[in-house]
Structure 1
Amino acid sequence: MRIIGIKFKKISAEKFKEEQKNIELKSNFTLKEVEKDNKISKLSVNPVYNFNFVYLIDYDDIASLVFEGSVYIEVEEDKVKEIEKNKNNVDNDLKKMILDFVLSKTYIESLHLEERLGLPFHIRPPQVTFQKSNDSKDKKDK
């Protein structure tokens, strides 16, 4: 299987009220319908399926970010029956592949929207720490 691309139908960021001290942040990823895309399949060697999704980042009742769209995946002929049979129950390896792709495509945009709305980031930014060098320790000992 090979990911061909992603198409967003909705990107939404809404702040309902000013934040309070303790915000409980939750995120949820849901796969919706799985459909064969006949239009794109005509251009491809193998059939192409679109996997509709909703990715929600929820800040209690303070704010929410929503990404809704479709991930397009080219499926080998030997996997088509499995996909067709299990449209409502996609296997975990395929779910992981889709989720990883969606997260990689929404990461920067979600941080940008959080910053614009004055919300805490849903992922901790990297932090730099410095270790005290042995040179400064040696100078103190002298």
Structure 2
Amino acid sequence: MENSSKVITELKLGRNIHQITKADRFLDNGLCVQLLKAKPMKVRYGEKDTMTLKEGDLEHLAKFGQITHGHHEYRGCKVFSLVHPEEKFYVMGYCNQVDIDNKEGRFLGAEGYYHNARKTKNENVNSFFAVKIFDSDMEEVNY
């Protein structure tokens, strides 16, 4: 994903302001939450520029929708992303590989919450060759 993604929010960690987009991830190990930038900032200021989130940062993030990733490389941790409040998830059904290749699917619904889009996908998965979920930028998502 490009760093040109729509900014969801900003966090000031240490001396740096971090613009948070859908490409960024948060790692929760049960003790602290850490920001995992998709594209790290060029300027770092050592220990004063911590990427570990404090209580105020966590309260700020709680205001946004969150999607937990089912597949990631961190064992024993939760990895999640923030969702922009205006984000929509579109569910499309495809009858065959040619339809997928030509991006010609049947529109099955649009949802403001990923878990609702996932439910729509699961309800239709047996009726199509493939069912996919896309975000507002029409990028396929599968958390």
TMscore range, shorter length: under 0.3
Q: TM-score when scaled to structure 1?
A: 0.19
Q: TM-score when scaled to structure 2?
A: 0.19
Largest Rg, 1 or 2: 1
- Larger helix fraction of residues: 1
- Which of 1 and 2 has higher RCO (CA within 8 Å, sep 6+)? 1
